[in-house]
Structure 1
């Protein structure tokens, strides 16, 4: 099914993601606990992804 005219992609661009991450960091730096929690969550997920990649590399 095609997108409707004027619709945007559902997946954000890399540039947009960098901007959103910077906004999260700024909010966390200004005391937003939800933003700080999300940054911790993202860091944890990235570390898990790296560990899985290393394990896959060692096994293969």
Structure 2
């Protein structure tokens, strides 16, 4: 049986951003495009493969203790 590809969650990717464009609110800086849908979904629809450029966001250090 063929293993299902892993699902890429754009919100956890360092290249993902929300645009100001109401018609294309989701963007990918790495692939340089905006979309009506999550970029990883567009990549999967066009290639049949999960996004190969996914990079998990690095944790921001919010510790402000002296």
TM-score, normalised relative to structure 2:
0.31
- Richer in strand (by share): 2
Structure (1 or 2) with the larger CA radius of gyration? 1
Greater RCO (Cα-Cα under 8 Å, separation 6 or more): 2
- Richer in helix (by share): 1
